[in-house]
Chains A and B, each alone.
Chain A
Amino acid sequence: MAAYLDFEKPIADLEEQLTKALEIAEVGQVDASQTINDLKKKINETRKEIYANLTPWQRVQVSRHPERPYTLDYITGMTDGNFVELHGDRNVKDDKAIVGGLGSIDGKSYMFIGQQKGINTKMRQYRNFGMANPEGYRKALRLMKLAEKFNKPIITLIDTPGAYPGLEAEERGQGEAIAKNLLEMFQLKVPIMCIIIGEGASGGALGIGIGDKVMMLENTWYSVISPESCSSILWRSWEHKEKAADALKLTPKDMLKNKLIDGIIKEPAGGAHSNKADMVKRVKREVIKTIAVLEEFPTQELIESRINKFCEMGSYAK
């Protein structure tokens, strides 16, 4: 049974009708092929229509869809399984909320790093809901330095509701771990591409988010705080999450307009979860294209333009 978001109800209803029609066709008494075709067409149209007009809050919901592809889906899909996961920060432990390793696309090696969410209740706990501890950020940095040493481009896949706000996380320096990554990523001598594939929540996302090219999938969000937390702080209630989602301008379109990201990767109609293989293919295409362009730049130029790009972000007046 597929999971549907509340605004996807028309799609769910049509899917149900389709299932029934298919059942009838199976029994074989009536020719239902015309109905089935009509329904399939209608489902596609409805899906397109709904997804063409998502509100910011609905986009946030899609970004958290339980069937959405996660980091490892993209990595294994893009590399066709030619991927070796590397573990551990070499100091404390292996953080399961951030995965990384070397993988190959069309015979070329890349370093992949990203937050990983779980696919079911047990795995969600195992992955700590994609909320990394300091070890996760330190593992990420270790792998980025490894990539730099062997001159491999870095691809980060961002999907987190935030860095983990836990007791041990504070004891082991969550703030310091993220800060260090920001500083170090600006000076890495290899191309870095960052892709927000789901949730891009605050410092937890930015901690692996400094890149020469930062892109967002169409149905994702990226901001300093989640709409729910923003609502609870500014409106003192969780009820205003829709308003908060509007106010935060967290959609890919707004982020691009405000020059805070470099591009958007379109999703299949109905969102990434409606056709995972297609989504992975789209991301793969973008990765190959982007890295090929970035590798043309001399290292110093690459670092300078990375720094300049982020230094131009802001809005102020004299």
Chain B
Amino acid sequence: MSSWFKRMKQGITTPTKEKKETPDGLWFKSPSGNVVETNELKANNYVVPADDYHKRIGSEEYFNILFDKNEYEELNKDLQSGDPLKFTDTKSYKDRYKAAQKKTGLKDAIRTAHGQVNGEDLVVAAMDFNFIGGSMGSVVGEKIARAIDYAIENKYPFMIISKSGGARMMEAAFSLMQMAKTSAKLSLLAQAKLPYISLLTDPTTGGITASFAMLGDINIAEPNALIGFAGPRIIKETIGRDLPEGFQTSEFLLEKGFLDFIVDRRHLKTKLTQILRLFKN
């Protein structure tokens, strides 16, 4: 038998514990396949440099991006749902809620805070899609309402960063009425002549679009976000044909006249500061 059939060297000799670790999340891959190191991604406001893909982020990241030195005061942070209907489908809402809190470390699908953006005071409400699809129940409505009260009291401009599938079914009509409640408070903010900036991010649909997300003095969106009232699947089923390419994207809404402009997340803070100062001065 020839020697080249014989294993001369040992196989894998590195013991498991000496292996170089490649931990999960060291790299991020965008849908079109571009890979970026997570540290670099973070430094780039979670936008993939190669293709400008905007990764979905939550309130924590938005506060970090917007507020000077990441300093802010969170408002009403302990508010939780009261499970008004004792709703149960295949699982109880109570259990779902607890599981979501455990998984995300959040109390509900929105956080509200006051801080400064390049020295300009601003109250921001930012939604967390990770928490039951960013759905709006009593807590989301109440936190927005109280944040608006806070803005009116202190004469600060107000901003909502929307990222939500819509109403929270498990709070049924309570959830529906949050659309009314937030709109009621926005009508008071308007009377106080304080600017309201609505930033729509991927995705913003359903009752969110049909209430506060579309009511900004200025409506802006991140690039290529899904924004609509009805979801694309439902529309497709209703009309019985395929939807045109780019339907319900930020770019589509800008073209149809429902957005003031689209903003790359890397320029969000600068652009926002510019607007706040233009309103103020």
Contact = CB atoms under 8 A, between A and B. Distances in A.
Interface of A: 163-167, 169-176, 178-180, 182-184, 186-187, 202-203, 206-207, 209-210, 222-225, 230, 233-235, 240, 243-244, 247-250, 255, 258, 260, 306-307, 310-311, 313-318
Interface stretch (B17-25, B111-119, B228-236): B228-236
B177 A310 contact: yes
Interface string B190-234: 110000000000000011011111110000000000001111001
Contacts of A210: 180, 183-184
20 contacts: A165-B234, A170-B230, A173-B258, A174-B210, A176-B209, A202-B207, A203-B210, A203-B211, A210-B183, A224-B175, A235-B89, A250-B172, A255-B173, A307-B185, A307-B187, A311-B185, A313-B141, A315-B138, A318-B79, A318-B80
| Ranked 10 nearest A-B pairs via Cβ | A175-B209, A165-B230, A315-B84, A314-B138, A315-B82, A182-B183, A234-B89, A175-B229, A174-B229, A313-B177
Nearest to B168: A224
A318 B169 contact: no
Given A163-B229, A166-B239, A250-B172, A310 B207 contact: no
Contacts of A318: 78-80
Contacts of B138: 314-316
A210 B211 CA distance: 13
A311 B211 CA distance: 14
B81 interface: yes
A314 B146 CA distance: 13
B186 interface: yes
Interface in B113-167: 138-139, 141-142, 145, 167
B258 A234 contact: no
Contact of A167 (B141, B171, B239): B239
Interface in B215-268: 215, 228-231, 234-235, 238-239, 243-244, 247-248, 256-258
B139 A249 contact: no
A224 B170 CA distance: 10
A26 B186 CA distance: 68
A318 B143 CA distance: 12
B167 A172 contact: no
A225 B79 CA distance: 25
Given A250-B173, A258-B174, A316 B247 contact: no
B230 A174 contact: yes
Given A179-B212, A314-B138, A223 B172 contact: yes
B83 A170 contact: no
Contacts of B239: 166-167
B81 A169 contact: no
Nearest to A167: B239
